[in-house]
């Protein structure tokens, strides 16, 4: 099964386009858990237990685990083991390096840790992306137009008559012979998201930036979905995992995830 088919299958089964971002910050954990690396793992496990039937994917932001030092790797590994097999796991590290190094990253993320997909930065070109594409069942979300203010600095510069991020999208479409490439487009750019969906009609699009970053959910869903209402992967992190900082945090995360899934489904 290609990565594209896997995404569609899990979205259909879970009736959900929601991706829950496990950007777990030890400093923001409910007080009673403490602030250790083990506390991060316990927190993640309880969030996963409470939400796994509501999400098509979990995205782990690698920076949050690396900043835990040497224990971070183990926390990530144990967190991944806890996520049911059918749900897609995304290693959000935005890696990108020359061929022999990209191979290492692919090995670390896909083989050692076992992620189903990763985010990759396109700046270094084909040989930096190709090592992540060898297994058709494993996915690459290539950064196109990111949700942050700095996306204007280079991504929106015109290359010929079109912005650079469109060139990235068109190039990704060419590279997508195994149907395992997706794109990252921030919800903070609704018109551009619509344009990207036109250029890449059947690619999964990972859409961060709703909630705290100010992206509009309705347009993220309407413009991000491929035909029949699939292949948009709507990420929410802080609004779900920190819905409550009391002892009811897991239950509160479930409520929030349920609400968001329903709201997404209303717009599909």
Catalytic residues: 94
By the rule CB under 8 A, 107 interacts with its own copies: yes
By the rule CB under 8 A, 164 interacts with its own copies: yes
User: Other C-beta atoms within 10 Å of 49: how many?
Assistant: 13
Q: Which of 197, 261, 260 is nearest to 223 (CA)?
A: 197
Smallest gap, in angstroms, from Cβ of residue 224 to its own copies? 19
- Give the range of 8-16, 132-140, 164-172, 257-265 binding its own copies by CB under 8 A: 164-172
> How many chain residues touch its own copies (CB under 8 A)?
53
Residues 113-152 that bind its own copies (CB under 8 A): 121-129, 143, 146-152
Q: Which of 160, 159, 167, 174 is nearest to 143 (CA)?
A: 167
Q: Are 267 and 221 in contact (CB under 8 A)?
A: yes
Give 112's DSSP letter: I
- Taking each helix axis from N to C end, the angle separating 190-199 and 164-175, rounded to the nearest 10 degrees, works out to 30
Smallest gap, in angstroms, from Cβ of residue 8 to its own copies? 28
By the rule CB under 8 A, 206 interacts with its own copies: no
By the rule CB under 8 A, 74 interacts with its own copies: yes
Per-residue burial over 164-199, b = 16 or more CB atoms within 10 Å of its CB, e = otherwise:
bbbbbbebbeebbebbbbbbbbbbbbbebbebbbee
Sign of torsion over alpha carbons 106, 97, 210, 222? negative
- Give the range of 47-55, 58-66, 195-203, 226-234 binding its own copies by CB under 8 A: 58-66
By the rule CB under 8 A, 89 interacts with its own copies: no
By the rule CB under 8 A, 235 interacts with its own copies: no
Query: Which residue ranges make up the site for its own copies (CB under 8 A)?
Result: 23, 61, 63-64, 66-67, 69-70, 72-74, 77, 94-99, 101-102, 104-105, 107-108, 112, 121-129, 143, 146-155, 157-160, 164, 167-168, 171
């Amino acid at each position: 099964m290609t990565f594209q088919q896997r995404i569609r299958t899990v979205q259909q089964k879970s009736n959900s386009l929601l991706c829950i971002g496990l950007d777990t910050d030890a400093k923001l954990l409910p007080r009673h858990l403490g602030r250790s690396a083990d506390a991060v793992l316990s927190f993640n496990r309880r969030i996963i237990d409470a939400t796994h039937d509501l999400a098509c994917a979990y995205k782990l932001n690698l920076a949050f685990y690396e900043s835990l030092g040497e224990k971070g790797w183990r926390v990530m590994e144990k967190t991944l083991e806890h996520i049911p097999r059918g749900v897609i796991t995304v290693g959000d590290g935005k890696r990108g390096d020359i061929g022999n190094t990209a191979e290492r990253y692919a090995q670390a993320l896909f083989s050692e840790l076992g992620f189903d997909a990763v985010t990759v930065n396109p700046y270094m070109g084909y040989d930096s992306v190709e090592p992540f594409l060898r297994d058709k069942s494993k996915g690459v979300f290539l950064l196109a137009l990111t949700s942050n203010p700095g996306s204007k600095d280079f991504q929106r510069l015109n290359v010929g008559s079109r912005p650079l991020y469109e060139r990235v999208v068109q190039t990704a479409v060419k590279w997508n012979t195994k149907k395992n490439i997706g794109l990252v487009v921030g919800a903070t750019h609704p018109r551009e998201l619509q344009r990207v969906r036109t250029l890449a009609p059947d690619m999964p699009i990972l859409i961060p930036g709703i909630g705290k970053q100010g992206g509009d959910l309705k347009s993220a869903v309407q413009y991000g979905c491929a035909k029949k209402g699939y292949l948009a992967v709507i990420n929410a992190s802080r609004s779900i995992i920190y819905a409550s900082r009391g002892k009811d945090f897991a239950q509160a995360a479930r409520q929030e995830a349920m609400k968001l899934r329903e709201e997404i489904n209303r717009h599909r």
